[in-house]
């Protein structure tokens, strides 16, 4: 009989769980609420929440949005977003992850206390969390994702480096080394990577290697999902990416093998359970 196991360390991170809980409490009370941006980078979970009555809007939709309650998701937002919402009379339901919120405050304080320095955010340009962090510096921070990008900086000016919470630890170390080699002034780096997310890398690697076949469940637009899928596939080349259970193919499996199901920090547990039931149904 085929053996199917769900990775106990996969699924939503604390910040996402907290944000969804806040939205569901409003919906359970019969109140309306709009999420400013996708709650998570997972189309199936967004669809589930919208079926409960939640709306997903963008900053452009704030004027037209009927809902008075607007939720700031776990990624956080720049100060300008809060001002816009307040000016429009919206009730802000702030679900920014506490770890991200603390980082935002640290970036803001550093920027204000060190006007002579260059603020560097090690992260992905355009990522929601990064936009929120850059906003703490009134748009003056540098976003770098590759070591060679340090050449955008002035080598004579000091640097304060922070990281998007979901970036890889190895990449942070490489960026720090590149900055210290290029910048002639002082370089102060703050490792602000969330360990619960960072530890997913070795955990996923070990889990994938333990099984004959690995099925990775994630939204297609999740950067964390793409990164963790690559980790799983490196450990187990027989790893398949799906965004929903209907994409699972029977010919990936044979009887009497071990199958592991894992996912991104934006993958709900119910979706991995659905994948498990789909695989098991092939062999009934």
Write out pLDDT tens, residues 20-46. Answer: 999 999 999 999 899 999 998 898 999
How many angstroms separate the CA atoms of 40 and 19, rounded?
9
Three-class HEC string of 19-54: HHHHHHHHHHCCCCCEEECCCCCCHHHHHHHHHCCC
Q: Which residue has the tokens 């260059």?
A: 118
Q: Active-site residues: which are they?
A: 129
Evaluate whether 3-11+197-281 and 99-193 have a shared fold.
yes
Strands 55-57 vs 69-72: parallel, antiparallel or unpaired:
unpaired
Assign domain 99-193 to its CATH architecture. Answer: 3-Layer(aba) Sandwich (3.40)
The CATH number for 14-97, chosen from 3.20.20.70, 3.40.50.11270, 2.60.120.650, 3.90.1150.10, is 3.40.50.11270
Q: How many CB atoms lie within 10 A of CB 113?
A: 9
Q: pLDDT tens-digit profile of 8-24?
A: 999 998 999 999 999 99
Query: Which pLDDT tens digit goes with each residue over 109-128?
Result: 999 999 999 999 999 999 99
Instruction: For the chain, give every domain's residue range.
Output: 3-11+197-281, 14-97, 99-193
Please name the fold of domain 3-11+197-281. Answer: Cobalt-precorrin-4 Transmethylase; domain 1 (3.40.1010)
Q: Say if pTM beats, i.e. exceeds, 0.85.
A: yes
């Amino acid at each position: 009989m085929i053996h199917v196991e769900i990775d106990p360390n996969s699924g939503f991170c604390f910040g996402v769980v907290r944000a969804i809980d806040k939205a569901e409490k409003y919906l359970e009370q019969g109140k309306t609420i709009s999420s400013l941006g996708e709650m998570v980078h997972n189309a199936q979970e967004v669809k589930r929440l919208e079926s409960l009555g939640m709306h997903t809007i963008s900053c452009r939709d704030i004027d037209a949005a009927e809902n008075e309650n607007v939720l700031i998701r776990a990624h956080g937002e720049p100060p300008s977003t809060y001002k816009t919402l307040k000016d429009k009379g919206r009730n802000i339901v702030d679900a920014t992850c506490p770890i991200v919120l603390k980082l935002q405050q640290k970036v803001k304080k550093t920027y204000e206390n060190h006007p002579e320095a260059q603020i560097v955010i090690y992260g992905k340009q355009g990522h929601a969390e990064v936009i929120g962090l850059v906003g703490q510096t009134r748009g003056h921070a540098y976003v770098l994702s590759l070591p060679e990008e340090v050449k955008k900086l002035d080598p004579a000016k000091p640097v304060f480096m922070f990281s998007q919470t979901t970036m890889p630890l190895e990449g942070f170390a490489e960026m720090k080394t590149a900055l210290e080699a290029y910048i002639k002034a002082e370089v102060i780096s703050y490792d602000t990577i969330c360990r619960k997310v960072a530890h997913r890398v070795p955990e996923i690697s070990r889990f994938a290697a333990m099984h004959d076949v690995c099925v990775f469940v994630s939204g297609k637009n999740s950067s964390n999902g793409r990164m963790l899928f690559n980790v799983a596939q490196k450990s187990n080349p027989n790893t398949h990416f799906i965004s929903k259970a209907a994409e699972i193919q029977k010919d990936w499996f044979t009887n009497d093998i071990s199958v592991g199901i894992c996912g991104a920090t934006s993958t709900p547990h119910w979706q991995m359970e659905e994948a498990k039931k789909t695989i098991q149904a092939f062999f009934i």
